[in-house]
Structure 1
Amino acid sequence: MFEFLYLEVLYLLIIPFIFIFLVRKSRRLKAIFSKEVMKEIYIKKSGFSKRLRAYILIFSLIFGIISLARPVMQNGEIKIKQSYINAVIALDISNSMRVDDLFPNRFEFAKNKIYSFFDNAMDKRLGVVGFSNEAFMISPLTSDFSSLKYLISNLNFSNLNLQGTDIYSLLRSVDTLFKDEKNKILVLFSDGGDNEEFSKEIKFAKENKISVFIYLTATNKGGLFKAPNNDVVLLKANQNIKDLALKTGGAYMQSSLNNDDMKALNSLISSKFKNNETKDEMIKDQKELFYYPLCLSMVLFFMANFSLPFRRKA
């Protein structure tokens, strides 16, 4: 069955028909416009007369509008199986993420790495959670990564003033979000907080089948941080958090400037887990026809503008 996907675009066809009316009533143009304007409107004599050239351009416009309306030939619907790996991205938004041992600081560095993670997560649906001393949802599971990038790009410390890094609170939130999932995957971007050990978090993650993948956004050298009491302290990467990843079936990665680390992390997650959600989706089997009127429009346009002039007898 033939149809237009953007039927409303065809309303633009009123424009070329207005031009046709004006060409047929060309004498009225002279009454409307000055001689100087008429020189700009009309094309100098060449292979086609002014009127014929105008009609060719009008039909070029008509076919161009038809192509924009996207004509297609519908051949029914096809059932396909769409599979996803569901995972939650957790971004540490505590004050320690202000430290600038990573450029421009830990927080912005983590955001840029998350953007890169999205670019390599074509087989996944991702949710995003922000956390410090408590966790809050930024987005539920979705494959609309452009929207996720927009939401994360608007997170900044001017509207966030949170202290502490409570991983346990985060794990509880992830468990609630994934309560019906067989595999619960958490990808954590954090400097590790200041916990000396994570036995409580490890126990909870194991009991609730949460696999934690950690990308440590801090350096072993660390950076200076001004505490709320105005003391200046040196904050380094908390390597103790590595146990949380390794003992829950996840993985641990140290921050790096390597652009392929997020690709490697995505591949690692994909290899560890089979797609944990499969849906039957109906898609339309359609043949695109827009290029036919588009090609015709271009041919007519070039005919009107680059036709060869007639030779005049001496």
Structure 2
Amino acid sequence: MNQFRFEHPEYLYLLFILPALVVLYYISYRMKKKALQEYGEMSIISQLMPFASFNRPIYKFSILLLAFAFLIIAIAGPQFGSKLRKIKRKGVEIVIALDVSNSMLAQDIQPNRLESAKRAISKMVDNLNNDKIGLIVFAGEAYTQLPITTDYSSAKLFLSGINTDIVPVQGTAIGAAINLASKSFTPESEASKAIIVITDGENHEDDAVAAAKAALEQGIVVHTIAMGLPKGAPIPVKGKSGQFRQDENGNVVISKLDEKMLAEIAEAGGGNMIKANNTTTGLNALFKEINKMDKTELEQRIYSAYDEKFQYFIAIVLFLILIEYLILDRKNRHLKDIHLFSK
């Protein structure tokens, strides 16, 4: 079955001109007829002009109108996809759950944990090919920042707008993020699926291990990237240079990586836990591992070439113009008794 389309469908709006032309012609026709009626009865006028035809101009206008319609269709570029091609593509679906809690502002990984993670994600997006990516942000709650897509430009645009203010509730709800990510994949897709949780793991509030197990049961592998160094670092106060968050006793809060928890989450999710440092976040290395996953070949039918069909419509236009030309405005002296067109 061929697929039909217009290369320039915007020109089809010109078809709205046709009703306006009909109205204008009708007004002109009525004015001419009214002008003739001022000279007397139409029955008498018809006898005085035996070769005149009052209906032939209507036929000629209708044919020209039809020709104009076909001309618009030709300009719009009608095409048929006559070459059906089946292709095989391989890809994975990845949902990244990015921690945006205040502790991600700690600067043990430069320039800070969050910015380092964002830069790594951006570089990973540049390496995607046929893969789908989604983005979830979480702190005390989890939100979908970008539904799963192959629009990599949009992915980088949404990524650039992420900061610690994007989620109003502070905390580290890793389990909620994994649960939301598990629901974000393309329904019934046969592609391999993976969740990458990027967090320092500090002050987790729910059962992230159980969430990772539940994801694995659905065929979704959960990986974790540990953003932070074991020694930890203070958390800068946003907008106040040189000031750090303090506890209720006035002591500077040191944010430390919960490496043990992140390892447990990755193990429960059938994935890997990678520790980031100031040299690398390990995201690209993890992506290479994900690319080694079994990938189901997804067959797609593509109309790979479209044949131009405007020439057929142009031929119709020329034929109609020829017919219009052959229809005289007045009756032929020798053919006037052949009533092909009524008076």
Considering the TM-score relative to the shorter chain, is it more than 0.5?
yes
Count of paired positions: 222
Does residue 186 in structure 1 map to residue 195 in structure 2? Answer: yes
Q: What are the superposed Cα offsets for residues 36-63 of structure 1, whole Å, 9 maximum, x if unpaired?
A: xxxxxxxxxxxxxxxxxxxxxxxxxxxx
Q: What are the superposed Cα offsets for residues 219-258 of structure 1, whole Å, 9 maximum, x if unpaired?
A: 1121012157564211121112112113322111111344
Contact 1:95 1:161 in 2 (8 A): no
- Pairwise mapping of residues 31-70 of structure 1 onto structure 2 (< 5 A)? none
Partner of 2:272 in structure 1? 251
Contact 2:139 2:167 in 1 (8 A): no
Partner of 1:59 in structure 2? none
In structure 1, stretches of 5+ residues that fail to align are 9-73, 288-314
Q: What are the superposed Cα offsets for residues 92-148 of structure 1, whole Å, 9 maximum, x if unpaired?
A: 111111111111211111100110111222141111111112111111111111110
Partner of 1:77 in structure 2? 83
After TM superposition, the score normalised by the length of structure 1 is 0.60
- Pairwise mapping of residues 1-314 of structure 1 onto structure 2 (< 5 A)? 76-81=82-87, 82-178=89-185, 180-181=188-189, 183-195=192-204, 199-225=209-235, 226-227=245-246, 229=248, 231-240=251-260, 241-258=262-279, 261-275=282-296, 278-285=298-305
Deviates more, 1:257-266 or 1:243-252: 257-266
SS of the residue 1:185 aligns to:
strand
In structure 2, stretches of 5+ residues that fail to align are 1-6, 11-79, 236-244, 308-343
Deviates more, 1:145-154 or 1:207-216: 207-216
The structural deviation recorded for 1:200 is 3.0
After TM superposition, the score normalised by the length of structure 2 is 0.56
Larger Rg: 2
Deviates more, 1:115-124 or 1:127-136: 115-124
Output the CA distance in 2 between the equivalents of 1:75 and 1:203. Answer: 46
- Note the aligned Cα RMSD (angstroms): 3.4
Task: Percent identity, please.
Answer: 27
Output the CA distance in 1 between the equivalents of 2:247 and 2:99. Answer: 18
Output the CA distance in 2 between the equivalents of 1:203 and 1:160. Answer: 26
